[in-house]
Structure 1
Amino acid sequence: MVLLLLVLTGVQLWQTRDVTSGPAPELAVSVLGADGKLVTTTLSAWRALHPAEPVAIHFWAEWCPICRTEENSITRLSRDWPVLTVAMQSGGADQVRATLRQRELPWQAVIDPSGDITRAHGFHAVPSFLVVDAKGQIRTPAVGYQTEMGMRLRLWWVKLTS
């Protein structure tokens, strides 16, 4: 059991080796709201809507089968915590809007058709997840399937230790 835990920890550390540490990248992004409207903003401006709270950023793709298994968890998580999703290489706003509607996902989604926003955060695969604390610092990055409880614990931990 300990060996398995060490292997999983090693894999996670390797997968997140390029994730930026310190302040979250400040990029202009197009965010598709749950209402279907497209707004241009920045991560810090979006975070300002949730003062003194950690926020979750979930990187996903329409074509990713593992991402689909996390959809209900992300939806439930977003009812209690601020969650911004990043639709990596899933097409333009119209395609992402259609995917969200078809799957009945009430998410706010950054449109990342080329994967540049995902790579700017240091991720090379989806699904990926990180928490940005109230001071704008990246915390607890993870690649691969995450349980809802695991995501909640990451947010809670960041809130507790910030």
Structure 2
Amino acid sequence: MFDKLKHLLVFGGSAIALYLGAQFIATWGLVAGTPPPIHAATLDGTLLDIPNREGRPSVIYFWASWCHVCKAMQSSIRSLAQDTPLVSVALLSGDETEVREYVKREGFDVPVVLDQDGAIGRNYGLRGVPAVFVLGPDGTIRFSTIGYTSELGLRLRVWLAGL
């Protein structure tokens, strides 16, 4: 019995260490502190001014229409957007017509900003998508992650950013 518990703890600890190491490498070079400004209109014409300092946590979500991992996160992002200020950035996903068609087809009804040439993504230090930046109430980046993140993981980061 003790040996099984010992093996389980070693395996679990190794898995956690591997995950944290991978996240450290993946997020290396991402912008920290005050996020680069995003002054743009969403697909529905709403003007954004990021970072906003509305006194509560918010989220910037980078995705691409060709990214299968991003597609797997869409339901979590939609759910989060119901009660958290959130903007998504369509990175290298085509022109406005193509992104509008994708958003409609997928039912991805969150605010979307186009980043056709990848300039916004480069300003944030991105090397891949999906990427999530959680901003604290003061508008500074509190958490960043690249790759799949569960809804629970997203909500936990938003909650911690608000503390």
Contact 1:38 1:93 in 2 (8 A): no
Q: Tell me, which stretches of 5 or more residues in structure 1 are unaligned?
A: none
1:26 is matched with 37
Cα distance in structure 1, aligned partners of 2:15 and 2:102: 36
- Report the TM-score when normalising by structure 1: 0.88
Question: Following the alignment from structure 1 to structure 2, what is the Cα–Cα distance between the partners of residues 80 and 28?
Answer: 23
Q: How many residues align?
A: 152
Mapped partners of 1:136, 1:40: distance in 2: 17
Query: 1:111 aligns to what SS in structure 2?
Result: strand
Preserved contact between residue 131 and residue 158 of structure 1 (Cα < 8 Å): yes
Aligned match of 2:108: 105
1:5-61, Cα deviation, whole Å (9 max, x unpaired) = 1111111011111111110111332322xxxx23454313xx25xx21110111100
From 43, 52, 55, the counterpart of 2:50: 43
CA distance in 1, matches of 2:78, 2:47: 22
Q: Which amino acid aligns with 2:96?
A: A
Same amino acid, percent of matched pairs: 30
TM-score by length of 2: 0.88
Q: What root-mean-square deviation, in Å, do the aligned CA atoms of Structure 1 and Structure 2 show? A: 1.3
Provide the residue aligned with 1:156 in structure 2.
159
Letter in 2 for 1:4: A
The runs of at least 4 aligned residues of structure 1 exceeding 4 Å deviation read: none
Corresponding position: 1:14 with 2:25: yes
Alignment partners' CA distance in 1, 2:41 and 2:34: 20
Q: CA deviation at 1:65?
A: 0.5
